[in-house]
Each structure stands twice: as C-alpha cells, then as structure tokens.
Structure 1
C-alpha cells in the first residue's frame, strides 16, 4: 500500500536511517530505496515493509491495541495487529513480501505481535522527479 510520509528526521551519521510520520504514526526505519534526495519537513510517497534477520518471532496476544512499539534504542520493533494472509494490519499495512506468514496458518485472522529487526521504507518516484 502506498502511503504519504512526512520526513521528521534524517540521521547525520547513518545515511539510511529516517524517521517518518504516516497517518499520525511516527517511527524510525531504513530507507533501503531512495531514488532522490529527501528533506525534513517534506512529504513523499512510500511503501513500508519489515526485515527479519534471524527467526520470525510471532505470537497471538489479547487485549492490546494496534501499534508499533520500538524496542529499546535499536531499530527493532514490535508490530501489533491483525494477521491476514499476506500482511499485518497495525493501522498501517505491512505486507509480507517474503511469505513468512504462510508458515502460521493457525494465527490467520488473529491479533498478533511480531518482532522485526527493522522497518523498511521505499521512497517511490513521482511523475515530477
């Protein structure tokens, strides 16, 4: 799903690190594709995803709200939301491009928490770029 993201912060040391806000939800991720220069305070079309470096940690939870929660000061996040066939709905939709979720049919249509190593942000070209 394409979102419009407001760039809130660019890290001066880590070129790929960017903090954005989408639909009132702020998070820090990695701009793994950025075909143009981005600036703080400007909005851009983006796709979002996640990276799992080792093993996917996913579990059913109860009594929680949809949300993203940063784990300590690192780049890891908990994504909490409804697990669907190829995505998780945490008020923002994260698609499962690597088909991790197909290994968890017992958790489909349930409220879950997944632990991801980072959130990926792809800045999309526009017709004016």
Structure 2
C-alpha cells in the first residue's frame, strides 16, 4: 500500500535510519530504497514492510488493537493488528513480502501481535508535492 509520509528525523550517523509519520503514527525505520535525497519536514510516497532476522514471533491477542509499539531504544517493534493473508493492518498496512504469514493460516483474520526486528521503508520513485 502506498502512503504519504512526513519525514520527521534523519539520523546523522546511520544513513538508512529515518523517522516518519503516516496518518498520525510515528515510527523509526530503515530506508532500504531511496532513489532521491529526502529532507526533514517534507512528504514522500512510501510503502512499508518489516524485517525478521531470525524467526517470526506471532501470537493471537484479545481485542481489536491496532498499534505499533517500539521496544526499548532499538529498532524492534511490536506490530498489533488484524492479520490478512499477506498483510497486517495496524492502523497502517504492512505488507508481508517474505510470505511469513502463509505459515500461520490459523491466525488469518484474527487480531495478532508480532515482533519485528525493524520496519522497512521504501521511498517510491515519484516524490509527492513537498510541503
């Protein structure tokens, strides 16, 4: 899914680290694809995903929680929301490009919590009209 993201912060030490805000939800991720220079305070078209370094940790939860919660000061997050076959809706939709969810058909259309090692951000080739 394509979103318009406002760039809130760029890390001066870690080139790929960027903090963005989408539809009122702010998080820090890694810009693994960025075909142009981005600037703080400007908006860009992005798609978002997640990175799992070892194995997917996912479980069903009670209630309809949709949120992204940072774990400590690192890059790990809990993503909570409604699981679909190839996405999770946590207020914003994360795409499962590596097909992790196919291994958990029992959780499809249920509210889940999963732990990810980082959120990935792809800045799409056509920038928006910047603010």
Structure 2 distance, partners of 1:24, 1:4, is 11
TM-score (norm 1): 0.96
Consecutive unaligned residues in structure 1, runs of 5 or more: none
Partner of 1:110: 110
Secondary structure at the counterpart of residue 72 of structure 1: coil
Residue 65 of structure 1: how far off its partner (Å): 1.8
Moved over 6 A (4+): none
- Residues 127/18 of structure 1: CA separation in 2 closer, same or farther (3 Å cut): closer
State the distance in 1 between where 2:2 and 2:64 align. Answer: 26
Q: Per-residue deviation at 1:114? A: 0.5
- Asked whether the 8 Å contact 2:67–2:79 carries over to 1, the reply is yes
Q: Distance in 2 between matches of 1:127 and 1:10?
A: 17
Structure 2 matches for 1:65-104, cutoff 5 A?
Answer: 65-104=65-104
- Across the aligned residues of Structure 1 and Structure 2, the Cα RMSD in angstroms comes to 1.2
Structure 2 distance, partners of 1:90, 1:127, is: 24
**TM-score, normalization by structure 2:** 0.95
Which consecutive residues of structure 2, in runs of 5 or more, have no partner in the other structure? Answer: none
Summarize deviations over 1:99-123 as a string: whole Å, max 9, x none. 1000001111100001000000000
